[in-house]
Amino acid sequence: MKHKIINVEQSEYWNEKSGPKWVKNEDSLNERLSILTNELFTRAKIKASDKVLDIGCGGGDTTFRVSKLLADGGHVVGADISKTLLDHAKSKFSDIDTMTFVHCDAQNYSFDEKYFDKVISRFGVMFFESPSEAFKNIHGSMRTNGSLNFVCWTNMMENEFIVEGMDIITKYTEKFLPEVTKDPGPFAFSDPEYIYEVLESAGFKSINIDKVYTSISTKDSAEKDAELLMGIGPRARILSEENLSNEKISMIKDEIIKLCEQRQNEKKITYKACLNYVSAKK
């Protein structure tokens, strides 16, 4: 099959700890994450008058979604360490009174004390240098009875979206998926006991962690989906480090497209996913 060669200069794009350095694949990811985002919002039970903090808000889509639920003095702050992503969020969602974006490291930023009723995050809390310090700081920003709700990945191997195509990449590169550790990164919070310890040490109460099996799906073509798979996560890092010829990249892509096609059913490509939904009270 003939197709364009994708650019896999990922190292310029991806920061090992905090993730994307510039805006990429945003709409594609928002589409794929829609089921789990709905679940996060159902659990967070945001009220119109709430003061809400969205940690690691990235391009601001979840922050914007919160803003649409607010009235009566409600306000949402989207906080992110990436100036590029925040500038993008601001340019997309300007002029909304109930929403502010703050460029900061949420681990030690001086948020208003005892201010937020709700703290939420979609995949934005796994990158702190010191998770205990970060969650103590977040705890201090919450009102008495305030609640925390976030979603994070469980084990990498339980998430087909993250590992699909990896066997093919290994075949061409002899590189394997990295070992998952508790170091800052997308899978730092895959172990519920560790999440519990971190939140408890930060002063949180009523900690609850639900491991939920769900799915990630897209209406994209198999080719577009294969490009995305090759452009994110550990696959992208390995491809960029290996400096493969265009021919090899093209062969890998052909094989991954076939995997995507095999998953396609009624124009939808679906992956099994497994997530930790975490909630806690101040």
Residues that bind ligand SAM (CB under 6 A): 18-19, 56-59, 62, 79-82, 85, 105-107, 122-124, 127-128
DSSP 8-state class, residue 105: -
Confirm if 53 and 116 have CB atoms less than 8 A apart.
yes
| 18 vs 147 by CB, closer to ligand SAM | 18
| 108 vs 246 by CB, closer to ligand SAM | 108
Residue 129 tokens read as 């240098």
Cα 61 to Cα 277: distance, rounded to the nearest angstrom: 19
Cα 82 to Cα 212: distance, rounded to the nearest angstrom: 29
| Shortest Å distance, C-beta 57 to ligand SAM | 5
Cα 227 to Cα 236: distance, rounded to the nearest angstrom: 10
Spatial CB neighbours of 177, under 8 Å, sequence gap ≥ 6: 156, 163, 166, 234
| 85 vs 259 by CB, closer to ligand SAM | 85
| Shortest Å distance, C-beta 271 to ligand SAM | 17
| 13 vs 259 by CB, closer to ligand SAM | 13
Please give the single-letter amino acid code of residue 27. D
| 75 vs 122 by CB, closer to ligand SAM | 122
| Shortest Å distance, C-beta 127 to ligand SAM | 4
Cα 40 to Cα 37: distance, rounded to the nearest angstrom: 5
| Shortest Å distance, C-beta 185 to ligand SAM | 10
| 105 vs 191 by CB, closer to ligand SAM | 105
| Shortest Å distance, C-beta 3 to ligand SAM | 27
Give residue 215's Cα distance to chain centre: 15
| Shortest Å distance, C-beta 146 to ligand SAM | 19
| 87 vs 105 by CB, closer to ligand SAM | 105
DSSP 8-state class, residue 123: S
Q: How many CB atoms lie within 10 A of CB 241?
A: 13
Helical (H) or strand (E) element with 264: strand 264-265
| Shortest Å distance, C-beta 70 to ligand SAM | 18
Q: Which residues pair with 75 in a beta bridge?
A: 51
